[in-house]
């Protein structure tokens, strides 16, 4: 591998020109950011146009089982589509991106994340009354729509910086129509792909449904929110149980579930995340609450019978190892579900517990926990974990026809990882390097739907100082309103 110094002047200037075309002429800075938060924010990003690019001479991991890895290969992207993947592609007129020293792979697919919680990063405290659930509930209740916007925008910026190109925004604090609107605005402005799942506000009585009329309205008007179909709408279902002991589904739960099914919306639910909630999957199966359209979150305390019923129904599962470990839910049952042929995605869940949204670390935790549990060095190979973070995650979200692998005809969601950094040299076994050694700082370039949103290690369209400054001001105001010190 040649060094970065061999970057040609033409290629370098090409990169600079691209940034110029994005309108990146400095940033207003931190002071402006705080001022803006008081007045109401303005977008911290302006999305670049989808261009025509060819990434040359990269180590391309297509994550497509038929194609596999292609060393020294090119990826040609035009107007958001992957045109071709292969060696020495003809792409006259395309802007050339030097791929030497880079691993190119599909962007990571994140599958369950309370993005608004990013305003509460690392705020789950050390006493029961300051644990994750009371903290999110107490502060969530005093959130204004603008705070939802600030938390989700910061989360989306972090996602893109880490190489996550798809998020499942599990929005469980919709206190009125304007809350969903604000959250969606943040997703749209950042240009990320994802599913927005509509959820109950914090503190909502379990016996009352969410505002189903508002959910229907959003569904009806979805075209105006979808950002040219980058975003889809789902239901963040609270689940069937008010009392984990009796486990009798409430009328409200049934109404919400039926409404989502009637509207053709995918459903997602937290389940069996503690010993006291064991048996929930069995009840969901009995009550016909499972299916390909119903994603199960955590699913840690499960029996072999329950796993069989999940497999039979086709429900995908998502694990968020850092929150599951940090809060003491238990260990992800990755091996058991994979052995049953169940589709698994990986997730952040909440940075109030996990601290960050590092998908490299999530992959590493999933592998290490599984190998430790099974006392087997070879139980969960790195490449399999990488599949969970890309193509299988996409399958679990029902978007594998569009993203999750690098294949002609799919949309161009991809990342470039710089292997010349000190924690990644030397180039050895790429799947192992990504799962065991790589960090978000190694993500050189991120493309979503053909738009370059990170280049040479910097976000191109998001003003980070403004985003962090405004979020900090929003959190200070939230804490004040809640009397939370």
Binding of Zn ion by 110 (CB under 5 A): no
Stretch of residues binding Zn ion (CB under 5 A), selected from 332-340, 344-352, 407-415, 423-431: 344-352
Smallest separation, CB 319 to Zn ion (Å): 11
Smallest separation, CB 317 to Zn ion (Å): 13
Smallest separation, CB 293 to Zn ion (Å): 18
Binding of Zn ion by 349 (CB under 5 A): yes
Stretch of residues binding Zn ion (CB under 5 A), selected from 153-161, 224-232, 324-332, 345-353: 345-353
- Which residues, 6 or more positions from 464, have their beta carbon under 8 angstroms from its beta carbon? 157
Q: Which residue number, 103 or 187, has a Cβ lying nearer to Zn ion?
A: 187
Binding of Zn ion by 444 (CB under 5 A): no
Query: Which residue's CB comes closest to Zn ion?
Result: 349
The number of residues that bind Zn ion (CB under 5 A) is 1
Smallest separation, CB 343 to Zn ion (Å): 18
Stretch of residues binding Zn ion (CB under 5 A), selected from 6-14, 29-37, 50-58, 349-357: 349-357
Stretch of residues binding Zn ion (CB under 5 A), selected from 275-283, 328-336, 342-350, 442-450: 342-350
Smallest separation, CB 401 to Zn ion (Å): 26
Q: Which residue number, 158 or 349, has a Cβ lying nearer to Zn ion?
A: 349
Q: Which residue number, 327 or 403, has a Cβ lying nearer to Zn ion?
A: 327
Stretch of residues binding Zn ion (CB under 5 A), selected from 51-59, 245-253, 341-349, 402-410: 341-349
Q: Which residue number, 211 or 349, has a Cβ lying nearer to Zn ion?
A: 349
Smallest separation, CB 115 to Zn ion (Å): 11
| String marking each residue 293-332 x if it binds Zn ion according to CB under 5 A | ----------------------------------------
Binding of Zn ion by 449 (CB under 5 A): no
Smallest separation, CB 305 to Zn ion (Å): 25
Q: Which residue number, 349 or 444, has a Cβ lying nearer to Zn ion?
A: 349
Smallest separation, CB 176 to Zn ion (Å): 22
Task: Give the C-alpha separation, 256 to 269, whole Å.
Answer: 12
Smallest separation, CB 61 to Zn ion (Å): 29
Which residues form the interface with Zn ion (CB under 5 A)?
A: 349
């Amino acid at each position: 591998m040649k060094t970065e110094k061999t970057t040609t002047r033409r290629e370098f200037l090409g990169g600079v020109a691209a940034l110029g075309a994005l309108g990146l002429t400095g940033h207003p800075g931190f002071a402006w950011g705080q001022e803006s938060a008081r007045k109401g924010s303005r977008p911290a990003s302006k999305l670049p146009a989808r261009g025509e690019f060819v990434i040359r001479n990269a180590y391309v991991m297509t994550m497509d089982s038929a194609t596999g890895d292609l060393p020294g290969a090119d990826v040609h992207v035009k107007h958001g589509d992957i045109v071709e993947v292969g060696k020495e592609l003809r792409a006259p007129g395309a802007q050339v991106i030097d791929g030497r020293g880079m691993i190119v792979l599909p962007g990571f697919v994140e599958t369950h994340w309370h993005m608004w919680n990013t305003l509460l990063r690392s705020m789950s405290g050390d006493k029961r009354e300051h644990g994750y659930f009371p903290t999110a509930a107490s502060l969530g209740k005093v959130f204004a729509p603008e705070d939802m916007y600030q938390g989700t925008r910061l989360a989306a910026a972090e996602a893109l910086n880490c190489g996550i190109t798809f998020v499942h925004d599990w929005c469980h604090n919709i206190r009125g129509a304007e809350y969903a609107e604000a959250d969606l605005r943040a997703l749209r402005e950042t240009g990320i792909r994802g599913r927005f799942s509509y959820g109950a506000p914090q503190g909502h009585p379990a016996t009352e449904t969410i505002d189903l009329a508002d959910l229907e309205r959003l569904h009806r008007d979805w075209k105006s929110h979808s950002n040219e179909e980058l975003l889809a709408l789902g239901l963040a279902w609270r689940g069937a149980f008010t009392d984990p002991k009796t486990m009798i589904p409430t009328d409200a739960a049934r109404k919400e579930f039926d409404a989502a099914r009637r509207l053709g919306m995918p459903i997602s639910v937290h389940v069996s995340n503690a010993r006291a909630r064991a048996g929930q999957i069995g009840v969901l199966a009995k009550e016909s609450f499972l299916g390909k359209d119903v994603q199960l979150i955590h699913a840690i305390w499960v029996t072999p019978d329950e796993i069989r019923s999940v497999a039979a129904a086709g429900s995908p599962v998502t694990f968020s190892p850092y929150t599951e470990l940090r809060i003491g839910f238990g260990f992800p049952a990755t091996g058991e579900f994979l052995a049953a042929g169940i589709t698994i995605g990986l997730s952040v869940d909440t940075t109030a517990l996990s601290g960050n949204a590092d998908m490299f670390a999530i992959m590493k935790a999933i592998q290490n926990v599984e190998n430790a549990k099974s006392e087997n060095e070879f139980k969960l190979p790195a490449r399999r974990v990488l599949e969970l973070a890309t193509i299988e995650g996409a399958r679990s979200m029902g978007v594998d026809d569009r993203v999750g692998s690098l294949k002609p005809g799919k949309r161009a969601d991809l990342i470039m990882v710089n292997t010349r950094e000190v924690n990644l040299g030397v180039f050895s076994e790429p799947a192992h390097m990504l799962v065991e050694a790589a960090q978000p700082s190694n993500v050189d370039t991120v493309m979503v739907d053909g738009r370059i949103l990170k280049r040479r290690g910097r976000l191109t369209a998001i003003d980070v100082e403004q985003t962090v400054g405004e979020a900090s001001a929003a959190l200070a105001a939230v804490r004040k309103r809640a009397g939370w010190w």
